[in-house]
Amino acid sequence: MTEISSKQLIAAESYRLECQAGKSWLAVHIATGNRVVLKPLASFEDPRVVQHLMKIRHPAIPRLLDRVSFQSPEFTSSSAPNSGSKSAETEFLVCEYLTGVTFSEWLHKAGGVLPPEDVIPLLAQAARILAFLHEQNEPQLLHLDLKPEHLVRMPGGQVGLIDYDCARLLPLAPVCRSTIRCTAGYAAPELLQGQPKPASDIYAFGVLMLVLFTDLHANECSLPPLELLCRDLPVAVTNIINNCVKADPKQRFPSASVLAYSLEQLVVNRSLLYQNVNSVFNESSPQRPSTPVTVCNEKTKPDVVGQSSIKKSGDAANPILNQQLVVVWDHAEFAIEISRRLALSGKETIVIDVDLLNPRLDLLLNLSADAITAAQLSIEGTSPMSLRADQANTYDKPGLELALTSIMRQTLLPEHFPILLQKTETAHLKALTGSYLLRDYAHYDPQTLLQLFKTCRLHADTIVVRCGRFLHDSFTCLSLLAADLVLIPIQALPAEIREFNRYLDFLINQYPFERCKVRFVAIEHDPSRHLSWSMADALCGGLLGGSISKGCLGKNSRRNVKRIRFRHSEMASEVDQLLRRLGLLIPIGQARR
């Protein structure tokens, strides 16, 4: 970095140059005193990226503020700052300066190795930034130069991603190999062949993790077997790296969102950061296992409320984590729609309405009211061992109320639980809902709800829970705390986003609640009335998981109750795309056979 003498140079009459790093300048805006970075316009590989970055608003991405032209001084070992040597006039972009320490500086100060428990929360943020670039921009933006020098640890624990000189927009124009600019060691095989894609950034992310955790240079990370490089790393960290650095892009994490969620699970379950890698790679064998173990599996994931406790054959080869308990905050129609799409994909799904004061799912699903058999009545304590599902007598309690009552009385056995589930019009989708006697509302022990969730995990691939809007309801609080994933359907309006952000702040201050498991979803999104993608995501703290376009609300013929009905099949496809992005559905091409 070249410094300037006490006679500070002035650029374009507005910026005082402080020092030079490569071809860029660190400067100060004279009028405001704000630091900025001046980057030569010619340094960007893809000119379209400049126009795209000017439209992006994200707290972790430096904004492009202005364009200026001036004669940039050339400093060499033989020329002094006052020598008068000048280059031709150059056009520069004025970029926002992100205050903080780069990961490279942090790594150097730490002696070459950073502890995973300190870095993983920051890497989860970095992966979310990639997810924003890849999945929430049109066209997609690839960074293509991810390395420690380009990640900034900002004050307050936030992460910034800088330097988009090598970035490219998709679709790409044909690129010959000689024009690809990248950093050796971090470049994926397809990038070196002139075919960059989103998976190229995921590959670089895996190399980045190796550099941060192993005291190796990026060029050294591809030489030894991965099990030797990761010998001293926790099993969960090794699994993530393994799913990033595959030579075949199709074998890596299917998206940056899935990578981010994998890292976020390590933030939630910190015990995974202390499990030795030897349980994954057998040191006596020179070959790596043919099917890598996933981060969340039967061996590494604790069997506690709020975490999955079942494992199906074939999951070990699937990098998508098992988000089994999904809580939808308040929006009944959205809860039903995602439940239907999950069930139509073949997943055994249970949808539960725990808003006891304002239940709606039974109406929206057209479930017959109060059709509880005498066999179900026996669950309450009459004769559990003699249950028969075909007995015809009815009882006046809905399935959920009966389940909660029997759990409190300790008369509900897991094998009898399916009798309480009501079938819906959709195959593989069952419901646990109904109307409730208000006089019984205050008598439910909140712990019975947690036991109910544990029982549901034994009988379904995915449980979708619709909870009430207000945090004063104990069932709402418990559902949010126990969830693997919390979805907040909102209209992309400032007031509604602020409302739920305040709810989240309250939860975090009062309970051991992790914000990283929350995803906002912009529903019925109308670009003419609602916030733009980048603005909504910024207000959501980078947690905007996706959007559903404005659909149409139809009438339910039997109940005269509104519910979401999409006009075209592409509307349902939007929901499927959202679920794949969230890791709830396996991406196309990776479905289990």
DSSP secondary structure, 381-425, as one string: TT-GGG--TT---EESS-HHHHHHHHHHTT---GGGGGGGPEE-S
Judged against a pLDDT cut of 80, whether residue 437 lies above it is answered with no
Cβ-proximal residues to 135 (8 Å cutoff; 6+ apart), any chain: 255, 256, 257, 546, 581
pLDDT at 232: 86
pLDDT at 101: 96
Between CA 62 and CA 192 the distance in angstroms is 27
C-beta atoms surrounding 193 within 10 Å = 12
Judged against a pLDDT cut of 80, whether residue 374 lies above it is answered with no
pLDDT at 87: 53
Cis peptide before 174 (omega within 30 of 0): no
pLDDT tens digits along 56-100: 889 899 999 988 887 766 543 333 344 444 456 789 999 999 999
Return the structure tokens found at 332: 């009944």
pLDDT at 449: 85
Judged against a pLDDT cut of 60, whether residue 296 lies above it is answered with no
- Tell me the CA distances in angstroms from 97 to 30, 48, 162, 447, one per residue in order: 15, 21, 9, 49
Judged against a pLDDT cut of 90, whether residue 287 lies above it is answered with no
| In the chain, where the domains are located | 2-96, 101-317, 325-365+429-581
Position 333 confidence tier, pLDDT thresholds 50, 70, 90: very high
Judged against a pLDDT cut of 60, whether residue 569 lies above it is answered with no
- Mean pLDDT throughout 334-341? 93
Between CA 577 and CA 581 the distance in angstroms is 6
More confident residue, 374 or 145: 145
Cβ-proximal residues to 109 (8 Å cutoff; 6+ apart), any chain: none
Judged against a pLDDT cut of 60, whether residue 455 lies above it is answered with yes
Architecture in CATH for domain 2-96: 2-Layer Sandwich (3.30)
More confident residue, 95 or 557: 95
pLDDT at 368: 62
CATH no., domain 325-365+429-581:
3.40.50.300
Position 202 confidence tier, pLDDT thresholds 50, 70, 90: very high
DSSP annotation string for 297-340: STTTS---TTS-----TTGGG--S----EEEEES-HHHHHHHHH
Region of poorest pLDDT, from 90-94, 227-231, 275-279: 275-279
C-beta atoms surrounding 472 within 10 Å = 7
Judged against a pLDDT cut of 70, whether residue 588 lies above it is answered with no
Task: Please give the share of the chain, as a percent, with pLDDT higher than 70.
Answer: 73
Helices 569-581, 332-344: axis angle to 10 degrees equals 90
Mean residue pLDDT across the chain: 77
Region of poorest pLDDT, from 147-161, 231-245, 401-415: 401-415
Return the structure tokens found at 17: 């140059």
pLDDT tens digits along 488-529: 999 999 999 999 999 998 888 888 888 889 999 999 888 788
Position 112 confidence tier, pLDDT thresholds 50, 70, 90: very high
- Mean pLDDT throughout 8-32? 82
Judged against a pLDDT cut of 50, whether residue 273 lies above it is answered with yes
Task: Please give the share of the chain, as a percent, with pLDDT higher than 90.
Answer: 35
Judged against a pLDDT cut of 60, whether residue 45 lies above it is answered with yes
Q: Nearest-CA neighbor of 376 among 350, 408, 403, 341?
A: 403
Between CA 389 and CA 355 the distance in angstroms is 27
pLDDT tens digits along 518-548: 999 999 888 788 888 888 888 888 899 988 8
Cβ-proximal residues to 337 (8 Å cutoff; 6+ apart), any chain: 564, 575
More confident residue, 398 or 191: 191
Quote the CATH superfamily of domain 101-317: Transferase(Phosphotransferase) domain 1 (1.10.510.10)
- Mean pLDDT throughout 105-120? 94
- Mean pLDDT throughout 554-564? 43
pLDDT tens digits along 213-222: 998 899 888 7
Cβ-proximal residues to 349 (8 Å cutoff; 6+ apart), any chain: 339, 342, 343, 428, 429, 430, 460, 461, 462, 463, 464
- Mean pLDDT throughout 573-590? 78
pLDDT at 542: 85
- Mean pLDDT throughout 456-470? 92
Q: Nearest-CA neighbor of 486 among 237, 261, 302?
A: 261
pLDDT at 350: 95
